[in-house]
Chain A
Amino acid sequence: MNISILLVYGEGGHHDQAMRLMRQMQAIDPKIEFIHVTDTVTMKADSIEKIYTVTPIRHKNASFNPFSFASAYLKAVALTVTLVHQYKPKAVIGFGPGICIPVFMVCKLLNVKKRIFFEDWCRFTSKSLSGKACSPFSTKFFVQNESLKELYRDAEFAGRL
């Protein structure tokens, strides 16, 4: 039986990293089914079949709004519950930003056993919010700049995507 993997990412660099890893994994095992959960519509043209779009948890140019935060968070929780039941993913892989937080929490609660987080490749000397929040829910954590290993004790560095 083919396995499913949840791939969670936002726009820009988050999306680029996710696509790089996905292509590398597909080159080795073309049968993996990737279920995309994203808060961006900028890559609609990538001819991805199973893609689910959610509202960004925290908009990058807006100040923090607790009401829209709670609403976006709950929608992401509901979507993740549905996806985990529907596809029974073997793993979830997150690349930030905030959208990863509810998805990782739900995946842990629903016993998705492999939860892998990639800290943003633009981080050299500080943690991202999603990296900080997802690390307790992760079973494997990669940093992409060696200097970050000082901040994340259990993280692995295995090169940059």
Chain B
Amino acid sequence: MPNLQGASKRKRILVITGTTGFDSLVRNIDENRELEGGFDITLQTGDGAYKPRYKSFFDFDKGLKNRLSEYDFFITHAGAGTIFMLLEQKMRVLVVPNTERADKHQIELAQYVKSNNLCAVCQNVSDVAMAITEIDRTTQNLQPYEKVEFNAVRDLLRYIYE
């Protein structure tokens, strides 16, 4: 008989791969059945070709920002839109830079969040299962995201009108 109490305590994780998708990350997590014992994982697949077989998934969700509280942790590609949004909402985040893309700029943001201790970072997709088992510890003592808000909107409007 399954341990129902244990099941309800499983940590809820959402994996976010943006609009592009990130097949190797999604596949790696989906095919790892051992993680299911401790984690309730949902995968956002974007335009990725791989369709998960073992875990729940969806491709896009415009209202995602309003449902963040349904998860304990987030795993995300190093897309700035996603990372900044999660940090602004004070979420606990593990970043896996997507180096499969033709453009390599995700590395820069991964380095930034790592050196400022804003997110946990897993450099290699093949290590992600291990990183998930440690996610509670590695995302515990992160620094709060202190953002310098954009402060030139009025100046910009004045400039356009002049």
Q: Measuring CB to CB, which residues of chain A are less than 8 angstroms from any residue of chain B?
A: 3, 5, 11-13, 15-17, 20-21, 24-25, 28-29, 40, 42, 45, 59-63, 90-91, 114, 116, 120-126, 128, 140, 142, 144-145, 156, 158-161
Contacts and interface: CB of A to CB of B under 8 A. Distances in A.
Contacts of B154: 28
Contacts of A125: 108
B80 A158 contact: no
Given A42-B19, A160-B149, A28 B157 contact: yes
Contact of B102 (A60, A122, A160): A60
A113 B105 CA distance: 31
B18 A12 contact: yes
Contacts, number: 95
29 contacts: A3-B161, A5-B160, A12-B79, A16-B84, A16-B85, A25-B157, A28-B153, A59-B102, A60-B20, A60-B101, A90-B161, A114-B159, A116-B156, A116-B160, A120-B80, A120-B105, A121-B84, A122-B108, A122-B109, A124-B111, A124-B112, A126-B105, A158-B150, A158-B152, A159-B150, A159-B151, A160-B149, A160-B150, A161-B150
Main secondary structure of the interface of A (DSSP, over half): loop
A78 B20 CA distance: 28
B62 interface: yes
Give the contact-size bracket for chain B. Answer: 20 to 34
Contacts of A13: 79-81
Contacts of A21: 150, 153
Closest 6 pairs between A and B when the two form their complex, measured CB to CB: A158-B152, A122-B80, A13-B81, A16-B81, A159-B148, A159-B150
A160 B148 contact: yes
B160 A91 contact: yes
A59 B103 CA distance: 10
Contacts of B84: 16, 121, 160
